[in-house]
Amino acid sequence: MDNVKKLTNQLNELLTKNYDAEAGYKKAAELVEGTQLKSYFQSQAQNRYDFGHSLKAEIKGVGGDVDKGTSLKGDAHRTWMSIKDTFSGTDNKAMLEEVVRGEEAAVAEYQEILKEATLAPTTQKLIQKQVSSIQEALASARSLDAWAGKE
């Protein structure tokens, strides 16, 4: 597989996972009680929406085609799908635990792509910026998770 095709596939996988994360955060924002958590989830949904647009631009920039597939792609990020499918109540702590699991998985996936020696400088910069943002979101989620457990 040539480098452009491999990179395009990796970026499209991240794009799909960001779609899932955005949907999961939106769903959590609908279900959660408390303005602080609602605001956090809404902010992260917007971040993931923005990540998606940046990833699409990068895919096009490296000469690849954006996958028009839905977030139900076979290897979709199952943690985020579970947020969308399993929360019928408003268990803030459980939602935050799912966020932590999802963000930990996202960080690992981003870091795996960063190990590639053949990344274009623009791609590397984009991936590093997004993984840093996800790590910040993960730290916030852990902080909020500790807070939610004291309610």
3-state SS track over 49-111 = HHHHHHHHHHHHHCCCCCCCCCCCCCCCCHHHHHHHHHCCCCCHHHHHHHHHHHHHHHHHHHH
For residue 41, the domain's CATH number is: 1.20.1260.10
**Which candidate, 99, 80, 98, 83, places its Cα nearest to that of 40?**
99
Domain range enclosing 102: 3-148
- The rounded distance, in Å, linking the Cα atoms of 104 and 23 is 17
Residue-by-residue pLDDT tens, the chain, 151 positions: 588 888 898 899 899 889 888 888 888 888 887 888 899 999 999 999 999 999 999 999 988 999 875 555 434 444 554 555 555 455 778 778 888 888 999 999 999 999 877 788 899 999 999 999 999 999 998 888 766 654 4
Q: How many domains does the chain have?
A: 1
Q: Which amino acid is at 17?
A: K
Q: In the chain, at which residue ranges do the beta strands (DSSP E only) sit?
A: none
The two structure tokens encoding residue 82: 């579970």
Check if the beta carbon of residue 105 is closer than 8 Å to that of residue 141.
Answer: no
pTM, entire model: 0.81
